[in-house]
Amino acid sequence: MSLVERLRRRRPVNEGAGAWLAAGSVALSLLLLGGLLLLIAVRGLGHFWPASVALVELDDGRQLAGRAVRELPLPESGGRERLYFTGNRDLDGGVWEWLPVAEIAAQRYPGDLVVLERQRWGDFIGRLVAVEPREAEETPRQSDPEAAWVQLQARLAELETLREAREALERETIRPLARRLEADPDDGEARAALAAATASIARQTAAMSKTTLVLESVSGDRFRQPLDAVLGASRPNAMSPGEKLVAWTQGVWRFLSEGPRAANSAGGVWPAIFGTVLMVMLMSLLVTPFGVLAAFYLNEVAHQGRLTRLVRIAVRNLAGVPSIVYGVFGLGVFVYGIGGTLDEWFFGDSLPSPTFGTGGLLWASLTLALLTLPVVIVATEEGLARIPDHQREGALALGATRLEMLTRVVLPMAVPAMLTGVILAVARAAGEVAPLMLVGVAKLAPQIPVDGDFPFLHLDRKFMHLGYHVYDTAFHGDDVQAAMPLVFATALLLVLVILVLNLTAIFLRHHVGSRHAKTAH
């Protein structure tokens, strides 16, 4: 027996190419999924990390400061070029700069480079020269940047308290007064109070705009920046990792709690989070009772004949009908049909501008409730079918009526299955965007649909939605490149919400499975 033969004999059975290809497709699927999640997580969370700002000196003596974003090979000469985010849109019109790597003479990270987040013109990257009152017109003497930085931080903290006070005043005094005036235009007391409050706001605004910053870009352009348009300042090169972590946490928090700025390309997503959650909550309020009712009817009441079987198949199939079709239905029936009629009956004086005859919170929730109804019905029915028949028979044998049997025996046992169904429905609804494009999301809805005005919850208003926010910012934004990190962060948030909901549903299902296994014996 030759060596090769002996070796071969000790080898395992050859399963052939097919078995390996099958294993490979599992590996590839997992890789794709992991890659996608990793990409979203890294790009979404990385955005809030205060990245170092490089001071780049070119061969021709030009200087610029910015964050390196990416590097690509040059198509022609074979070198590489690097993309920098340089900010300062008000100075040079653009925020991006491609530089050939070969032309970069030196790259340093000086600690005095300042990054300012501003309301207009986006970020500023450069040096802070001085903080001074607005009236000082002459060009400032060369002052100490360190002192200016300390001063700036103190002023920014003051500004923050002023801003909060102003918002509180607007929210708690001005809006109720305006409402009173609207109801009764002759209310002199309210008018006087409103005038006083407005004047106080004007005073505060004036106080806020008292200070200007003298800024200098690295190429030497000097200009003045009113302090009240500055939202935040940082010196990323001078920060320790601990400080960066704190800044990162603050960045994440502001992303979650603030409204969008600069045509959705900056700021936070709070209204979108709120809109998504509110819509999903309304939807689950609608879908739970109806879905459970239909499941109980199909499984417990209806005669189990051919017709019921057909209906069951049809309901199951509706879960596979594309969501956009539900959107069309919602638009045609809810918005144009029911909404149009409601407008004619109750809101005739505001026509032709529609109240309910246009997409809004109510119609969106209804449409998504319809869309997720099959999910709830199927899940609840599965739960009902798992309840052993002897439980029902036992209850009936003890003299319970059918209603008593259903409410006291079957319903409690079916609760986990119902919950699973509702959570799956919520997870599906939170990720659906296509039908919402037809029945009621807005690109930018600064007013959230809940406020102090009667009836507090405005079902006719448009609202913002996380998924639509991703679509709109990525697809219709002016500078998609600049908005990308925020889109990634929003996408990450959406995915996280949906993953958590799904994990809850999976956990519940396992829980249900084990409980029924016990009761069955």
Contact flag: residue 16 with another protein (CB under 8 A): yes
Site for another protein (CB under 8 A): which residue of 375, 425, 486, 498?
A: 498
Considering the complex, what minimum distance in angstroms separates the CB of residue 339 from another protein? 11
CA Rg, the chain, in Å?
Answer: 31
Q: Which of residues 101-160 bind another protein (CB under 8 A)?
A: none
Q: Residue 91 burial by CB count (10 A; 0-12/13-18/19+): exposed, middle or buried?
A: middle
Site for another protein (CB under 8 A): which residue of 38, 42, 72, 245?
A: 72
Judge contact between 339 and 357, C-beta under 8 A.
yes
H/E stretch holding 49 reads: none
Closest to 316 measured CA to CA, from 369, 373, 376, 374: 374
Contact flag: residue 42 with another protein (CB under 8 A): no
Site for another protein (CB under 8 A): which residue of 180, 239, 495, 516?
A: 495
Contact flag: residue 69 with another protein (CB under 8 A): no
Per the omega criterion (within 30 degrees of 0), is the bond before 455 cis? Answer: yes
Judge contact between 163 and 169, C-beta under 8 A.
no
In the sheet with 96-100, reading across from the earlier edge strand, the strands are 96-100, 80-85, 63-73, 54-58, 104-108
Rounded alpha-carbon distances, angstroms, from residue 353 to 33, 160, 328, 358, 437 = 46, 39, 21, 9, 20
Considering the complex, what minimum distance in angstroms separates the CB of residue 82 from another protein? 15
Site for another protein (CB under 8 A): which residue of 437, 442, 448, 508?
A: 437
Considering the complex, what minimum distance in angstroms separates the CB of residue 4 from another protein? 11
Site for another protein (CB under 8 A): which residue of 13, 240, 352, 446?
A: 13
Contact flag: residue 431 with another protein (CB under 8 A): yes
Task: Tell me the DSSP string of 140-188.
Answer: PP---HHHHHHHHHHHHHHHHHHHHHHHHHIIIIIHHHHHHHHH-TT-H
Contact flag: residue 323 with another protein (CB under 8 A): yes
The amino acid that residue 82 corresponds to is R
Site for another protein (CB under 8 A): which residue of 194, 438, 442, 448?
A: 438
Contact flag: residue 279 with another protein (CB under 8 A): no
H/E stretch holding 300 reads: none
Site for another protein (CB under 8 A): which residue of 108, 210, 316, 511?
A: 316
Cα–Cα dist 443/465, whole Å: 9
* Identity of the residue, 454 or 475, whose beta carbon is nearer to another protein in the bound complex: 475
Cα–Cα dist 204/201, whole Å: 5
Contact flag: residue 20 with another protein (CB under 8 A): yes
**Pattern 451-490, binding to another protein, x per CB under 8 A?**
----------------xx-xx--xx----x---x--x---
Closest to 204 measured CA to CA, from 155, 153, 169, 154: 169
Contact flag: residue 96 with another protein (CB under 8 A): no
Contact flag: residue 285 with another protein (CB under 8 A): no
Considering the complex, what minimum distance in angstroms separates the CB of residue 450 from another protein? 24
Judge contact between 421 and 434, C-beta under 8 A.
no
Q: Which residue has the tokens 């169904």?
A: 421
Contact flag: residue 302 with another protein (CB under 8 A): yes
* Identity of the residue, 294 or 414, whose beta carbon is nearer to another protein in the bound complex: 294
* Identity of the residue, 32 or 165, whose beta carbon is nearer to another protein in the bound complex: 32
Which residue stretch of 16-24, 101-109, 116-124, 227-235 sits at the interface with another protein (rule: CB under 8 A)? 16-24
Contact flag: residue 494 with another protein (CB under 8 A): yes
The tokens for 444 are 């930018």
The tokens for 486 are 């925020």
Considering the complex, what minimum distance in angstroms separates the CB of residue 11 from another protein? 5
Contact flag: residue 402 with another protein (CB under 8 A): yes
**Pattern 356-375, binding to another protein, x per CB under 8 A?**
---x----------x--xx-
Taken in order 384, 386, 390, 394, is the CA torsion positive or negative?
Answer: negative
* Identity of the residue, 30 or 154, whose beta carbon is nearer to another protein in the bound complex: 30
Site for another protein (CB under 8 A): which residue of 115, 331, 442, 482?
A: 331
Site for another protein (CB under 8 A): which residue of 98, 109, 253, 297?
A: 297
Contact flag: residue 351 with another protein (CB under 8 A): no
The tokens for 79 are 């070198």
Considering the complex, what minimum distance in angstroms separates the CB of residue 27 from another protein? 4
* Identity of the residue, 153 or 317, whose beta carbon is nearer to another protein in the bound complex: 317
Closest to 357 measured CA to CA, from 337, 377, 386: 337
Cα–Cα dist 70/54, whole Å: 13
H/E stretch holding 198 reads: helix 188-208
Which residue stretch of 92-100, 173-181, 261-269, 434-442 sits at the interface with another protein (rule: CB under 8 A)? 434-442
The tokens for 291 are 């879905």
Judge contact between 276 and 442, C-beta under 8 A.
no
Q: Which residue has the tokens 């962060």?
A: 489
Contact flag: residue 398 with another protein (CB under 8 A): no
